[in-house]
A and B are shown apart, each in its own frame.
Chain A
Amino acid sequence: MITQTSKKPDIQLRKGQIVKGKWHRHHYHVVKKLGSGAIGAVYLCVHEKKQVALKISKQSASVSSEVNVLKSFQAVQGYHLGPSLIDVDDYQAQNGFTYSFYVMEYISGESLHDFIRRNGHEWLVSLLIKFANDLHVLHQQGYVFGDLKIENLIVSRKPVQLRWVDVGGTTLQGRAIKEYTEFYDRAYWQCGSRKADPGYDLFALAMVILRVYYPNGFTKGSNPKKTLEQKINQAVAIDPLRKLLLMLINNSITEAEQIKDFLLNYFIHQKSKRDKRRRHQKAKSPHEALYPFLEIGSILTIGGACYLYVTFFM
């Protein structure tokens, strides 16, 4: 997209600038830009010596919508349903226009791409298990995240955890998905509708994982589902992960909970299989079973040789 028409110009905040809220009069000191997208831009700011993230946009309607979602998440204690909400206000810019903004918890961390590049693909499994838990709670609250994509995820530390930002696509179940991105969109791949149900997020989640393997994405081709299956089979070497992805795009997993169950099950199963195999081997190998006798035999032989040596030559 190169142009977007609207009477209000986009807003750029400068490093070092102070953003003062029109209604609540809080001050935010701009440190740097964290990112920008279709709706607006997000800046790292300092407020009362704490780091916060400030999202500002010319579309006050979108800001209000996102704030509504974040507010409803605050009620769910003990889970990371998106960053916590700190403030909502308007900023009267020098150009005479008013811009809506909200302030939220700053989630520090790195992109999923960077994290996996440094730590290895094996981490995907553990990240997925925890993330699926959060997703499950979100679904139980009656929502669907919607615009699940790599850019909207951050790997935070202590503990290592995948967290989502940008609730712009978050939609009440049963309604039409508010925002989506083609590569992650179930309907684009002809694998279902754009009605918000948990399966919509699960499909997008599979695409997030696949995107880790194909950072530049790929096109859908004439048979989109087949393309996906091929891409999964070609790149994903981790057995449970490959199987999981295939199930996710085939709609045979419909609840986020099942992801955790499947992955944990797989590992428990695999461990016991390995144990069994070891026991099996022991019983079968005649070699191993003979070791104690060989050992005793050799001790006796050496001992006997020494005895003879002593009696004959000394």
Chain B
Amino acid sequence: MKTGTLKQILLITDGCSNQGEDPALVASLVAEQGITVNVIGILEDDHTEQPEGLEEVEEISENGQGVSQIVYQDALAQTVQTVTKQAMTETLQGVVNNELKQILGSEKTMEELPPEQRGEVMEVVDELGETCDLEVLVLVDTSASMTNKLPTVQEALIDLSISMNARIGRSRFAVYQFPGRKKPIQQLVDWTSKLDSITSIFAKISSGGITPTGPALKEAMYQFGKKTLRRRFTRDDYTDIEEA
């Protein structure tokens, strides 16, 4: 069994959106296009509890069929890769569950199988996670409060590329910031397989006060290439991967 390229948007932010469409709504539409939306919320080091603005984080990821986590800066690197991997596993489990329904002809999902069979299915999921191709568009909030966190974000992205490039399957990354100048998002790094060679991604950033998360997510969706949109993981989806 094979799957198409897994597509994810990874949103990194430290606050609440304050302009444009509702990001949770946009996320649900993006997810319908077969793109998972994962969100990482960064806390200020002196925050002992979760500030209100970050409640949105969970809402966006749930509607985006992805994973979210709220962390302090020093855990960012490890979190970025865990979130990405966890979301991959969940998506792949979804794919496998669909297959199971077709094979078993019932509403059976993995979790309802007896443990022995579940183990066998899990081997397939693990295998897919290792071999599938992956595209991650990283969308970084560069509003004023994020400025001091950007070096850490960059380190975490390099780390992500190290983790993902250790897989057998191919991984590609693109990095965008939002808000852009006069546009919802601005490209920082075009699709590439290696982020580790890139230095000072965030060097030329001018941060503003607004956080248009909704519009940014919507724009990000289009960066996956229009031809691949409107397709979920279907059986005929894997034909173009080999030579891609």
Contact = CB atoms under 8 A, between A and B. Distances in A.
Contact of B115 (A1, A64, A196): A64
B32 interface: no
B155 to A, nearest CB: 10
B189 interface: no
B144 interface: no
Interface stretch (B8-16, B73-81, B176-184): B73-81
Interface in B115-172: 115-116, 118-119, 121-123, 125-126, 130, 159, 162-168
B111 A174 contact: no
Interface residues of B, number: 38
Given A182-B78, A187-B162, A89 B71 contact: no
B185 interface: no
A5 B164 contact: no
Given A5-B58, A88-B115, A195-B166, A65 B69 contact: no
A89 B114 CA distance: 8
A96 B166 CA distance: 39
A173 to B, nearest CB: 12
B69 A176 contact: no
B9 to A, nearest CB: 16
Contact of B69 (A4, A100, A174, A188): A4
B130 A90 contact: no
A218 to B, nearest CB: 14
Contacts of A4: 69
Contacts of A194: 162-163, 166
Interface in A163-178: 174-177
Contacts of B110: 60-61
Interface string B59-95: 0011000011111000101110010000001000100
Contacts of A181: 78
Contacts of B93: 61
B166 A3 contact: no
A2 B71 CA distance: 6
B123 A5 contact: no
A89 B50 contact: no
A61 B89 contact: yes
Interface string A177-194: 100011000011000011
A133 to B, nearest CB: 27
Given A1-B79, A193-B166, A195-B166, A23 B122 contact: no
Contacts of B167: 175-176
Nearest to A7: B62
A282 interface: no
A177 B159 CA distance: 13
A98 B43 CA distance: 32
Given A176-B167, A177-B166, A182-B78, A1 B122 contact: no
Given A61-B125, A64-B122, A195-B166, A100 B159 contact: no
Interface of B: 43, 50, 58, 61-62, 67-71, 75, 77-79, 82, 89, 93, 110-111, 114-116, 118-119, 121-123, 125-126, 130, 159, 162-168
